[in-house]
Amino acid sequence: MPTPHLTILPNNPDFLDLPWSEPLADWKLPNLVELPTGVHRHVVRFAAYGERIYAIKELPLRHARNEFTSLRILQERRAPVVEAVGLVERAWLDPREEGSAAVITRYLDYAFPYRELITGGDFGPRRAQLLDGFAGLLVELHLRGCFWGDCSLSNVLYRYDAAALDITMVDGETVELHDVLSAGQRYSDLEIMVVNVAGGMADIAAESGGSIDEADMTLGAEVIHRYERLWEELNSDWLIGPDERYRITERTARLNDLGFEVAGVELEPVENGRRLRLKVEVGGRSYHRHRLSQLTSIEATENQARQILADLRYHEAKSGPSSVNKAVEAIRWRIGVFEPLLAEIEKLPGGTGDTVQLYCDFLHHRYTLSHDRGRDVPNDEAFAHWVAAGMPGHPLP
Ligand SMILES: Nc1ncnc2c1ncn2[C@@H]1O[C@H](COP(=O)(O)OP(=O)(O)O)[C@@H](O)[C@H]1O
Ligand SMILES: [Mg+2]
């Protein structure tokens, strides 16, 4: 029996226990788990190793190599993509297709395919979140030189992210990486998205017994609209006077507020030195996520992190002026407030799963309760009220 060629990244199982000589569809193993997926062409199966779950996708070698390499590079460029873990080459299987291969990716915790978002044949109140999520994802990928070539409702994974929706690229077979994308490349990628999303919406309408006329066909065009606004905000150059350096701080703060990190600032004299052109190099959309992780080691998605940092500041303000530094305050808050509350959440009947998102739901509830009562409601009281109310989530737009 020929042996497969495995490339596995560190800190993962070696996957040598899997029956690579057989087609993926035929595998019968106790650690294979059934999980919901989007619409797809290739065989995809999920294997559990302890707490971790991996997705294994079987596809022709050439596509597998491209997907594995592209996902790895995109991950290095800090783009929102699933983590590629391994490539398995089985050249002797299916020689017509220049060999069969498999790509292994880390299962994205708490993520789900689009079906969970649909109610009665459309995305209902989550539609606006979906538009922003897709626009944000495409902007981030394009900023990193990624022409995707197959953006669709099924080729991404969704996660709740405080009051927003976090969207991650999962299918990278068609990716082409460049240093910089031209406007033409960006727009042809957006056109592919429009066609794919319209196809997806037509399928959704058909599945729920509706007609094409009833399908939501403007979704893709609206994603482009939001994409353009965001792209403009991130990529426009400002002209500032020599005594207007404060506007550099202003520009940085605006980008951070949108969640983007600023990787660099460039000032170029124009108009014979009368003004300066301010160019910013935009980094990943993980400003609050990194800040929270640095201060407290808590891992969260971008908007969750923003909300949790606000909670940290709220507790700092409540505890009055302090002589200790920010890092110590942050650790005190984590040990004294955050972790005990998370432990309480885990004990609740509906408290398993994405506990960080549940914590954010609680924070939102505490805020509305305090607002209604016109005073700060303490955590204990707000928590009891939230549980009694059935642990409501963030209101939908
Ligand atoms: N790492 C992963 N985490 C969670 N789900 C995944 C992962 N990889 C794939 N999936 C699921 O499998 C489906 C198919 O994967 P995809 O890469 O799009 O395959 P195909 O090339 O056949 O379209 C996706 O829609 C997604 O639901
Ligand atoms: Mg796919």
Give per-residue pLDDT as tens, 74-107: 999 999 999 999 999 987 666 565 788 999 999 9
68 CB within 6 A, ligand 1: no
Residues 351-375, mean pLDDT to the nearest whole number: 94
Q: What domains appear along the chain, each with residue ranges and CATH number?
A: 5-106 (3.30.200), 114-233 (1.10.510.10), 240-269 (no CATH), 287-388 (no CATH)
| Best mutation site among 32, 35, 39, 40 for ligand 1 pocket (most ligand atoms within 8 Å of CB) | 40
Give per-residue pLDDT as tens, 299-343: 999 999 999 999 999 998 887 776 678 888 899 999 999 999 999
- CA-nearest residue for atom 2, ligand 1, is 107
Q: How far, CA to CA in Å, does 299 sit from each of 84, 141, 264, 303?
A: 19, 22, 25, 12
Give per-residue pLDDT as tens, 229-272: 999 999 999 999 988 989 999 999 999 999 999 989 999 999 99
38 CB within 6 A, ligand 1: yes
- CA-nearest residue for atom 11, ligand 1, is 37
User: At 342, is the secondary structure helix, strand, or coil?
Assistant: helix
Distance 260 CA to ligand 1 centre (A): 27
Give per-residue pLDDT as tens, 115-145: 888 887 889 889 999 999 999 999 999 999 9
- CA-nearest residue for atom 17, ligand 1, is 171
As a whole number of Å, the end-to-end CA separation of the chain is: 57
- CA-nearest residue for atom 16, ligand 1, is 171
| Best mutation site among 158, 171, 173, 175 for ligand 1 pocket (most ligand atoms within 8 Å of CB) | 171
